[in-house]
Amino acid sequence: MAGTGRLATRLFSGCGWVRGSDSAVLSRLRDEAVVHPGFLSQEEEDTLTRELEPQLRRRRYEYDHWDAAIHGFRETEKSCWSDASQAILQRVRAAAFGPDQTLLFPVHVLDLEHRGYIKPHVDSVKFCGSTIAGLSLLSPSVMKLVHTQEPEQWLELLLEPGSLYILRGSARYDFSHEILRDEESFFGEHRVPRGRRISVICRSLPEGMGPGRPEEPPLAC
Ligand code: OGA
Ligand code: MN
């Protein structure tokens, strides 16, 4: 199952992982909306999935909150990680965050069932600083970014299982982001069928909210 996404998107080779409304937006956000396909090895992806599954399985999927941003989901905040997962999270930290950024802790884990989706939203500036980095597990999906003032400006990110996306700066503050529902899950003209997807999301703390100097939160149990 876990290999399906990689196989599917190999068919799209040549398209890359980021599409945009126009080349100006693409070049402006080149360093602010970034996808690293294959950031995780298959083994690392399996390690995270195996570790998260028991904690997620204890919860029920939530639906029908008409005003909620997320539908068909369950979530958890995880503070206790195995050595192997800690090493993965350190790689995320090194790839996505600057040395002066403090991370929100515990780490947010979101499980979308195959019909689940995330409506357009901008993460609250009360809880989240300038950088959001997410690992995608199990199913490919499409994240769409739309400028909140000029909706003709948009980006699509193709998130394969094992990929890491990073939103920072303008991509994080001036654009909403969403995960498209199965019926609308297209990367350009390429259909990206949605299955169950788990994401592991690291966020920086709002500036000024962290300790005076960067401090590594305790990832071990
Ligand atoms: C969120 C969100 C994206 C993801 O939880 O605010 O946008 O990758 N999640 O699951
Ligand atoms: Mn969000």
Q: What is the pLDDT of residue 117?
A: 97
Q: Is the CB of 123 under 6 A from ligand 1?
A: yes
Q: What is the pLDDT of residue 85?
A: 98
Q: How far is the CA of 123 from the centre of ligand 2 (A)?
A: 5
At 162-206, the pLDDT tens digits run: 999 999 999 999 999 999 999 999 999 999 999 999 999 999 999
Q: Which residues contact 127 (CB under 8 A, 6 or more apart)?
A: 104, 203, 206
Mean local confidence (pLDDT), 114-121: 96
Q: What is the pLDDT of residue 207?
A: 85
The dihedral built from the CA positions of residue 24, 26, 31 and 32, taken in this order, carries a sign that is: positive
At 15-46, the pLDDT tens digits run: 689 999 999 999 999 999 999 999 999 999 99
Surrounding residues of ion ligand 2, Cβ less than 5 A: 123
Q: What is the pLDDT of residue 211?
A: 59
Q: How far is the CA of 197 from the centre of ligand 2 (A)?
A: 15
Q: What is the pLDDT of residue 67?
A: 75
Q: What is the pTM of this model?
A: 0.92
Cα of first residue to Cα of last residue in the chain, in angstroms, is 30
Residue nearest to atom 6 of ligand 1 (CA): 123
Helix (H) or strand (E) holding 52: helix 42-57
By most ligand atoms within 8 Å of CB, the mutation choice from 112, 119, 126, 132 for ligand 1 is: 132
Query: Between residues 209 and 4, which one has the greater pLDDT?
Result: 209
At 39-59, the pLDDT tens digits run: 999 999 999 999 999 999 999
DSSP 45: H
Domain boundaries defined on the chain:
17-206
Residue 1 has pLDDT above 80, yes or no: no
Superfamily in which the 17-206 domain is placed by CATH: Alpha-ketoglutarate-dependent dioxygenase AlkB-like (2.60.120.590)
Residue 147 has pLDDT above 70, yes or no: yes
Q: How far is the CA of 27 from the centre of ligand 1 (A)?
A: 24
Rounded to 10 deg, the angle between the 83-96 and 42-57 helix axes is: 110
At 45-103, the pLDDT tens digits run: 999 999 999 999 999 999 976 778 999 999 999 999 999 999 999 999 999 999 999 99
Q: Is the CB of 110 under 6 A from ligand 1?
A: yes
Residue nearest to atom 1 of ligand 1 (CA): 123
Write b or e for each residue in 200-220: b if 16 or more Cβ atoms lie within 10 A of its Cβ, otherwise e.
Answer: bbbbbbbeeebeeeeeeeebe
Mean of the per-residue pLDDT values of the chain:
91
3-class state of residue 43 by DSSP: helix
Q: Are 106 and 202 in contact (CB under 8 A)?
A: no
